[in-house]
Structure 1
Amino acid sequence: MKARSSLRRQLFAPLIWVWLLGSLLAAYGAFRLASYAGGMAYDRTLQDEAGAIATQINWTDRGPLLELSTQTQEMLAWDSADRNAFTVVSDTDNRVLAGVDGLPVPEDRSGSFERPALFDAHYLGEPVRGAMYSIRSPMLDRFVTVVVVETQRKRADLMAEVQLAILLPTLALGTLTFLLLAWGIRRGVAPLRRIAGEAARRAPHDLRPLPLDDVPAEALPLIERINELLANVTHSVELQRRFVADAAHQLRTPVAGIRVLSQELQHELGGAGGDQSTQALLQALVGSTERMSRLIGQLLNLARSDAALRNLASGELQPIDVLPVIREAAEPLVLRATREGKQVSLEAPETPCPARAHPVWLAEVVSNLLDNALRYGGDNVELRVVTRPGWLDIEVTDDGPGIEPAHRQLIFEPFWRGERADTRVAEGTGLGLAIVKEVVQGMRGRLSLASRPELAGTRFTVTLPG
């Protein structure tokens, strides 16, 4: 089957994409903001330094003269993180008049006369940012250029700090938002989970409407529609059950009359010395009426069990001691087995065996299982009660021919009478095991089957909650 995504996943999926897109935009915005803000601040500092150095240049008869002390020049060049340097070059031969030799100096200096111009270059294997300011002589047709450069380490550190300052709160806020969303979505779908859990815990006969308490408005039409379907199913099941019960009840009286008449006719003709063919026909007629009577009785039991178990599903079964119920239900079957030359044994603990069950319908289960074993099993039938923590097992085992694996699910279907090992005789109604399955499930128990070749015969196990 195709895996279906949960409602929470469907709600979260678009939010995750929105959050990822927002994070990427925030990262890009942080990078651009850090680049712009850091670049502007450091570029202005470079321009101020170039302008400050230019103010210290005086023109004399012999040319430009830089009036900066050695200590001041060292201070301009010192920085704990970046590598700074400056130089003052002439216009004619790019001769260094002051500062560091070998600094990158752009050839085009036309834009650096009014204010310091900025440029990018490389110095000693590192990218640097520089400011260039050209000063003309007031008397001579000459000019000098002041160049100040610095590496971009502090710029990179500033950009990283700004990005972290933006991204970390964004990530924290996004995580908190998703946690709150997860809590809100979980809280919102909790009523649906409660309804699903209650529906899963219900017995098959429990068709009560699902509760509408705290159901979200979006899901309310769905739950109401499900309740309408449950009401329709309940009505349909009730009509079918009533039809079966009424039909069986109406047939009970005429079938009983036919049975009595056939038995009297057999008795009278048998006493008059009737021939063997007549006796065979009468015997077949009596057997057919008896089977019809049993079938009608089982139909009534099936209809009653369906109605009773639907009532049981709405309430909680109380623990009872199952041993007296089992002994009382098994007693007539034990006497019948003795008349037929078979044996039924009971193995049970000496102490009480509590289980959550209805005494009347538990007796019906035991009676049907023993009847099935005596009809279709061997000569020995064992009824065993086993207790274990939280559960109780009732096992009915025979030493008969067994049930084929392909038929082990079909035998619980009403009226199923296929070619199988347990129906080689035609006395059964085909309803006994169906009633057992309905009753066990109605009492919130489990019914299991094991047969050859796993064991010598067939074993039905009824498991009830303790």
Structure 2
Amino acid sequence: MSTAPGRLPAHGPSLRRQLLQPLFWVWALGMAIAVAGALLLARAAANAAFDRGLQDEASALASKVIWTDRGPLLDLTRQAMELVTWDRADRNAFAMIDVDGYVLAGEGRIPIPVALLGHSVQQPTVFDDVYAGEPVRGAVFTVMSPMLDRRVSIIVVESTRKRADAMRDIQIGIVLPSVALGAITFALLAWGIRRGLQPLRDVASEVAARATQDWRPLPLQQVPAEAVPLIERINTLLDNVQRSMSVQRRFIADAAHQLRTPVAGMRVLLQDLQQELAAVTPADANRPWQPVLAQLLSSSDRMARLIGQLLSLARSETSLAVDAEHHTQDIVPVLREATEPLVLRALKAGRSITLEAPDAPVAARIHPLWFGEVLVNLLDNALRYGGEHISLRVQPADAQLPARVEVEDDGPGVAPEQLGRLFEPFWRGERADVRNDGGTGLGLAIAREIVERMGGTLEAATRPQVPGMRFTIRLAA
């Protein structure tokens, strides 16, 4: 696997590959040795069988040599001679020669191994030569006269066609089953390794299927003993992360709760100060303190809203963890009730919020209180950053898609590369520090957190796919 310069690989080599690779080379080396041995064994077996046949034929012909006063004769009938030389698949020939190399009987063109004539007295000796343009294998057997000091040699040759065919058949009969058995063995090894690693894939699938906030320990029942320390360490890590998140949530909730009272008191004091200063200052007099107090009141409002959002986030994480509080119901009444105040707010600002919902009930599994919080946050975001027209659409579930709620506006949207950051806590876009829109950067993060804890999804789309900005909630049935 290649990686860009300076970058580490995403992961190490596959465990299955590390197990199979050495086994494959062992299997391949063993198979190569087995095939080579089979080829040599087939060659040796074929040669031994055919050589023994040639030697037996030479010995049989030598037994037909008759010694007479006129010299040695080969006592064979014509039918016997034709039987010796006839072969449909091979070229056979024989001859009887004297010590001077003259052919006394048989084929006159037969090759004569002169160097072997004196060494084939005890038993027939085989040799290789060429006869009639073909390579042949032959046997020579020298016999002595029982009374006279004379000898003759019987030579039998045959071409190597049948020998090569038999050798090929033996090789195929040995090699093919060996290769097939080796392939089956290697396939079984691969299957066994895959089966042994399946529990790890099952653990990975379970982790992938879990919700974001599911910190339960991973099961160990089906995990191989070698992987148990790893899974136990992961479970320890999950427990530590869960404890850390709990401490963080408690800190946020406690801090927000402790800040709520002094911020509310500060806001009351600022309002009282504004009223008293207005009472002692003539209406036509210069009021340099008014912009400062207005800025202080705006800042206290924003601080109070931030504290409220932090408390909402902490409370949602606690209450939505109780699965029993989620139940299937008609979401349209919940939606109407939650968005009514924001519709009035939009009308006062000269904006419009339209609702498109079917007459029939739209069932989905929600937590009524926190689903309303999601809608409020999305509409508030649209009123702060969107255009003049805001649409709220409800679509019931069908065979392919779950129930959906869409909040869409015709505002400027965001840059496509910033979509991934919309749901980050406290992210409010570029140069948020110079804007005075009253936003906290937590509304969308809270909305997604709540939707995911209810088993749904929250996604965003921007120009050019939609007129401005669109948030789509998909709810579980």
The TM-score, its normalising length taken from structure 1, stands at 0.92
Structure 2 Cα separation of the partners of residues 417 and 42 of structure 1: 93
Structure 2 Cα separation of the partners of residues 159 and 423 of structure 1: 92
Structure 2 Cα separation of the partners of residues 208 and 129 of structure 1: 80
> CA shift at 1:244, angstroms?
0.8
Alignment of 1:54-69 (within 5 A): 54-69=62-77
Q: Secondary structure at the match of 2:218?
A: coil
Q: 1:104-158, CA deviations, whole angstroms, 9 ceiling, x for partnerless residues?
A: 1111122112211110111122221111011233444432111011122222222
Corresponding residue to 1:264 among 264, 272, 277 = 272
Structure 1 Cα separation of the partners of residues 18 and 88 of structure 2: 53
2:379 equivalent in structure 1: 370
Instruction: Output the amino acid matched with 2:252.
Output: V
Corresponding residue to 2:365 among 327, 345, 356 = 356
> CA shift at 1:210, angstroms?
1.0
- Whether 1:49 aligns to 2:60 is no
- Whether 1:319 aligns to 2:328 is yes
Structure 2 Cα separation of the partners of residues 125 and 319 of structure 1: 95
C-alpha change, 1:14 and 1:392, in structure 2 (3 Å) is same
Structure 2 Cα separation of the partners of residues 103 and 423 of structure 1: 112
Instruction: Output the amino acid matched with 2:454.
Output: M
Number of aligned pairs?
463
8 Å Cα contact 2:95/2:105 also seen in 1: yes
Corresponding residue to 2:356 among 347, 357, 360 = 347
Alignment of 1:158-197 (within 5 A): 158-197=166-205
- Whether 1:106 aligns to 2:90 is no
Which stretch of structure 1 is more off in the superposition, 114-123 or 170-179? 170-179
1:284 equivalent in structure 2: 295
2:6 equivalent in structure 1: none
Identity across the alignment (%): 56
Instruction: Output the amino acid matched with 2:408.
Output: T
- Whether 1:384 aligns to 2:393 is yes
Alignment of 1:16-415 (within 5 A): 16-92=24-100, 94-108=101-115, 109-273=117-281, 275-312=286-323, 318-387=327-396, 388=398, 389-415=400-426
8 Å Cα contact 1:445/1:464 also seen in 2: yes
8 Å Cα contact 1:26/1:166 also seen in 2: no
> CA shift at 1:428, angstroms?
0.9
C-alpha change, 1:27 and 1:316, in structure 2 (3 Å) is farther
8 Å Cα contact 2:321/2:453 also seen in 1: yes
Q: Secondary structure at the match of 1:412?
A: coil
C-alpha change, 1:362 and 1:227, in structure 2 (3 Å) is same
Q: 1:80-123, CA deviations, whole angstroms, 9 ceiling, x for partnerless residues?
A: 4322211001222x222111120111111221122111101111
2:451 equivalent in structure 1: 440
Q: Secondary structure at the match of 1:219?
A: helix
Structure 1 Cα separation of the partners of residues 326 and 194 of structure 2: 33
Which stretch of structure 1 is more off in the superposition, 138-147 or 56-65? 138-147
C-alpha change, 1:319 and 1:125, in structure 2 (3 Å) is farther
Q: Secondary structure at the match of 2:288?
A: helix
Q: 1:350-403, CA deviations, whole angstroms, 9 ceiling, x for partnerless residues?
A: 112223333222211111000111122223221111235332222112222322
Corresponding residue to 1:13 among 18, 21, 28 = 21
Q: Secondary structure at the match of 1:440?
A: helix
Which stretch of structure 1 is more off in the superposition, 220-229 or 167-176? 167-176
Q: Secondary structure at the match of 2:242?
A: helix
C-alpha change, 1:381 and 1:37, in structure 2 (3 Å) is same
8 Å Cα contact 1:205/1:306 also seen in 2: no
Structure 2 Cα separation of the partners of residues 173 and 320 of structure 1: 62
> CA shift at 1:20, angstroms?
2.1
Structure 1 Cα separation of the partners of residues 418 and 278 of structure 2: 42
Task: Return 5+ residue gaps in structure 2 as ranges.
Answer: 4-8
> CA shift at 1:422, angstroms?
12
RMSD over equivalenced CA pairs, Å: 2.4
C-alpha change, 1:422 and 1:333, in structure 2 (3 Å) is farther
Instruction: Output the amino acid matched with 2:250.
Output: R
Q: Secondary structure at the match of 1:409?
A: helix
Structure 1 Cα separation of the partners of residues 432 and 413 of structure 2: 6
Q: 1:159-203, CA deviations, whole angstroms, 9 ceiling, x for partnerless residues?
A: 222223322332332233234333322321221111101111112
8 Å Cα contact 1:133/1:147 also seen in 2: yes
8 Å Cα contact 1:404/1:420 also seen in 2: no
> CA shift at 1:9, angstroms?
2.9
Structure 2 Cα separation of the partners of residues 423 and 37 of structure 1: 95
Structure 2 Cα separation of the partners of residues 401 and 422 of structure 1: 19
The TM-score, its normalising length taken from structure 2, stands at 0.90
8 Å Cα contact 2:384/2:437 also seen in 1: no
Q: 1:227-280, CA deviations, whole angstroms, 9 ceiling, x for partnerless residues?
A: 111111111111111111110011111111112222222233333446522233
2:476 equivalent in structure 1: 465
Instruction: Output the amino acid matched with 2:395.
Output: V
C-alpha change, 1:426 and 1:206, in structure 2 (3 Å) is same
C-alpha change, 1:235 and 1:440, in structure 2 (3 Å) is same
Structure 1 Cα separation of the partners of residues 93 and 462 of structure 2: 97
8 Å Cα contact 1:376/1:425 also seen in 2: no
Instruction: Output the amino acid matched with 1:38.
Output: A
Structure 1 Cα separation of the partners of residues 31 and 44 of structure 2: 20
